[in-house]
Structure 1
Amino acid sequence: MRRTIAEDPDWSLVTVPNLSVFCLHSIVRNFEEHPSYEDLPPNQKDFVEERLSPSLPLHVTANTIHDGVYWERCCKRRWELCVVSLYGHSWKRMFFERHLENVIELFIPDVTGQCIVLELVPLCKNYVKRLNISQLLPPIRELQGEEEESCSALGSDDERDGPSMDHFDFSILLHLLTNLEELHLSYAVQQCGMNFQWNMVEMTNRDCESLGKALKSCKTLKLLKLQQSHVDDKKCRMLVKYLLDHPSLRELDFSYNLIGDEGARALGKLLTQSKLETLNMSSNQIRGPGAKAIAHALSGNPALLSLNLRLNLLGDEGGEAIAKALMSNNTLQHLHLPANRMTRPTAVALSEALLQNKSLKTLNLCCNQLGVDGGKALEEAMSSNSTLTSCDIYQTEVDEQSFSFINRVVRTNQEEERRADELKTDELIN
């Protein structure tokens, strides 16, 4: 009786891969030259995506590989913190939004070619819904040694004309991003260290003009946030000019800028001609006249749901104007007026408004000087109000009795609202 003994005692037929596995490995190895795997069943697609290199060129993978494990690997390889829930649970969306953000944030005018951005657009436009740009770099203006002296002596055209643009020009991009809904911008330079200069935190007039044109062309935009960019009255009016007839804009945030009364008047005009639902103007320089313009628009505005004027200079002139507007406004739900140098007259005017207004749910008056009499007026008004479910009057110099009473009424209103919501839910279920 004869026997054949293999040279490898551990060898067995089980360890030989199936032919299909060899084929899948071949697809992985040759994917850059032949990027096709559409006809594979789902489990085999996963096998390929788990083994493809995250370094493959984007023009190969962008419109070939669907959302899933491959893009998760690409994200985690590139960034330490990856919260996919912030991107609609889409790894592909996260990758392309953050990749485009990085390209824009590192763009240097007259050094970086616009083609770097434009070539990326066909690959990412279907997946980019939000851009959060935390820095925009200015052009390089420094001249060294003899070159600087020569330009100074001759008064060269380059020095007179300056760079072709001051920061990245959004007018070349936004109209191409057909799914963009949110744009967060800050014209600032991050991590500049000892080289800090104030012009590193500044939006220029040219920037403003190009951004305004870009915003007008982006018909899908719903939220615009432009913070910490030294936007003054002139720039605010310029931006508003381009936003007046915007078809989809619903939320506008110009907080932490230098906008005063003239800019506030422009925003008042915007409120009358748009469908804005949220306006955030906190930490600007709006005074009484500017607040009056916003209040005038508010009195006849059927769309605005939230108004934030925290950390401005409204005073009682502005506070009383907004309170008067609340008597005819039936849509505003959230009003924030902290730290605006308001005193008793504003509290009295607001108490009169609260007796009539039935839409306001949130009122924030903290860090004003309402005083004991102002607190009494609000206490009296709250005894007849059943809609306000948040009333912040911390550090307003009201007495303890008024403070406690207002908080009790607020808690009662919260409980009533909760019960009403439960009844509506039960009715929908039944």
Structure 2
Amino acid sequence: MRIPHIINKNTFNEYKPSPESLELIGEGDRTLVSENFDWNKDHCPSLVDLCVQTISKYFHRNPILHKLPCVEHDHLLEIVSCDLPLIIAVTYIQDEYYWQRRYTTQFGLIHNRKPLDWTWKSLYLERSVQEILEQAQPQYNDEETFEEILSISAPYVQRLIITQLQSWKPPLTMEKEDIPEEYPTDHINFIFILRKLPLIREFDIVYGVNSAGEEFNLNMFKVSVADCQRLGRALLDLNYLTILRIHRSKIEYLHCQALMQNLIKNHTIVELDLSHCEIGDQGALCVANVLQCHPSLKILNLTDNNIREIGAEGLGFAMVQPGCADLEYLSLRLNPLGSEGVMCILRALVRCTIPTALSMSGSLFEGDTAENIALMLKMNDTLKRLELSSNWIGEEGGEALLQGLEVNTTLEYLDIRDTDVTSEQMKQIEKILMKNRCELHQPGEEIEEGIGEEEVEEKVVNYNTNESPEQALE
């Protein structure tokens, strides 16, 4: 007896007889076993079933799915081939069960998070486009051959995640004497590809190779400036793009400059992620130029980019500009900012109302930096989350943070793990943060015990550096 897929499998588990009931007297002598759904397993199939099997076999020639009655419609979805040509499947099959079956058959488990408005059909087509682009060979320049699959998938592809890109290899038809000693580092051209996928909202790309095998060489992980120039121009065709991630790649200053020259014209990106790249100070200044005029950027992730004092000073200068993006989260984690670089960010935090969440974990600051952070907390009334883990704060710095938090009424989370702050100080800090989260901490409480406002401004706002932010951005 065939059970259609529209009936949940848990239903059968609920109606299964318990082991105890099967041991009752008379159970073994029953001739009618209603819970046995395999009673006709060895029977000849009905004429209707044979017709559905024939329709499934020749579905690519005559796709008459919607002409079938409801029961046969469900039966056909369960047995129709998962290898149908994509143009036929996309055009004639909308049922999610078929696309779920096709996805699990070809790709197995889902490894990435699913968006809120996801469907199995969109997930399958996004993954299909991803696989084609990840296996594309740049030496053949055959991006135009993807036109059919891109045109078919375009209405359903809103998220494109590229986890690797193939590096240039000598074509099989190239003569041995024509093979260059050093291979080009260019990858496939995204200008033609993204032009065919105008509905993309999230674009995630990694320049590298996941399965290098015996052919491994360092050129596989290099990125050319031309790659970034073409990618930047291609992104301008995505009018709905809100999330851009270019991470875990050898993106250096010149690459970042080529990207920012085009991104400065963008007005839709909400999240920009350049984490685990190598943009350095000069690249951070390029990002600062975009930051101080972008109308919608809210999340900026610059984790692990070798940014030091100059880059931090440029970012701090951009944050205090009137036209700066309304940042909600800024991550400078794992950058060697040092005490001077952190101070540049602190000077901006006492002058502006952004961001509400900041990460400076593993920034290599020490000395009296914790005291300066405490002074900033006394003046800042917008910061809600601050991450300072894996830095040197110590017992004296922990005491200074306590004094700053006694005045601050907005900070809700403070990460000070691995900072050598005593356990007692951490408990007191957590109590104050809990009050802020519960809105029980009264404004101005114990402010007379802290440092005066004039002294705070003198030490934090008028902090002297060797180079002005204006000079750093030039």
2:310 maps to 289
1:51 maps to 79
Percentage of pairs with the same residue = 29
Task: Measure, in 2, the Cα distance between the counterparts of 1:118 and 1:216.
Answer: 19
Task: Measure, in 2, the Cα distance between the counterparts of 1:344 and 1:241.
Answer: 38
Offset at residue 311 of structure 1 (A): 0.8
Task: Measure, in 2, the Cα distance between the counterparts of 1:225 and 1:85.
Answer: 15
Pair 1:100-2:129 in alignment: yes
- Which letter maps to 1:120? I
Residues 139 and 363 of structure 1: CA distance in aligned 2, closer, same or farther (over 3 Å): same
Specify the SS of the correspondent of 1:110: helix
2:383 maps to 360
1:5 maps to none
1:74 maps to 102
Offset at residue 16 of structure 1 (A): 8.6
2:431 maps to 408
Pair 1:376-2:404 in alignment: no
Task: Measure, in 1, the Cα distance between the counterparts of 2:399 and 2:373.
Answer: 12
Task: Measure, in 1, the Cα distance between the counterparts of 2:270 and 2:135.
Answer: 29
- Which letter maps to 2:320? S
Task: Measure, in 1, the Cα distance between the counterparts of 2:83 and 2:112.
Answer: 21
Count of residue correspondences: 395
1:186 maps to 206
User: Where does the alignment leave 5 or more consecutive residues of structure 1 unmatched?
Assistant: 1-10, 418-430
For 1:7-46, list aligned pairs within 5 A. 17=46, 24-25=52-53, 27-38=55-66, 43-46=71-74
2:144–2:192 contact (8 Å) kept in structure 1: no
2:168–2:183 contact (8 Å) kept in structure 1: no
Pair 1:337-2:371 in alignment: no
User: Where does the alignment leave 5 or more consecutive residues of structure 2 unmatched?
Assistant: 1-39, 441-474
Residues 42 and 207 of structure 1: CA distance in aligned 2, closer, same or farther (over 3 Å): farther
2:410 maps to 387
Task: Measure, in 2, the Cα distance between the counterparts of 1:235 and 1:362.
Answer: 31
2:373 maps to 350
Pair 1:197-2:220 in alignment: no
Residues 84 and 383 of structure 1: CA distance in aligned 2, closer, same or farther (over 3 Å): closer
Task: Measure, in 1, the Cα distance between the counterparts of 2:170 and 2:84.
Answer: 36
Q: Could you state the TM-score of these two structures normalised by the residue count of structure 2? A: 0.77
Offset at residue 302 of structure 1 (A): 4.8
Task: Measure, in 2, the Cα distance between the counterparts of 1:395 and 1:85.
Answer: 30
In the TM superposition, what whole-angstrom CA distance separates every residue of 1:39-84 from its partner, at most 9, and x where no partner exists?
A: 5565553333222111111111112211411111101111221369
Task: Measure, in 2, the Cα distance between the counterparts of 1:119 and 1:210.
Answer: 22
1:264–1:286 contact (8 Å) kept in structure 2: yes
- Which letter maps to 1:97? E
1:225 maps to 245
- Which letter maps to 1:298? M
- Which letter maps to 1:94? L
Specify the SS of the correspondent of 1:173: helix
1:46–1:69 contact (8 Å) kept in structure 2: no
- Which letter maps to 2:265? D
Specify the SS of the correspondent of 1:179: coil
Q: Kindly report the root-mean-square deviation, in angstroms, between the aligned alpha carbons of the 2 structures.
A: 2.8
1:303 maps to 326
Residues 314 and 67 of structure 1: CA distance in aligned 2, closer, same or farther (over 3 Å): farther
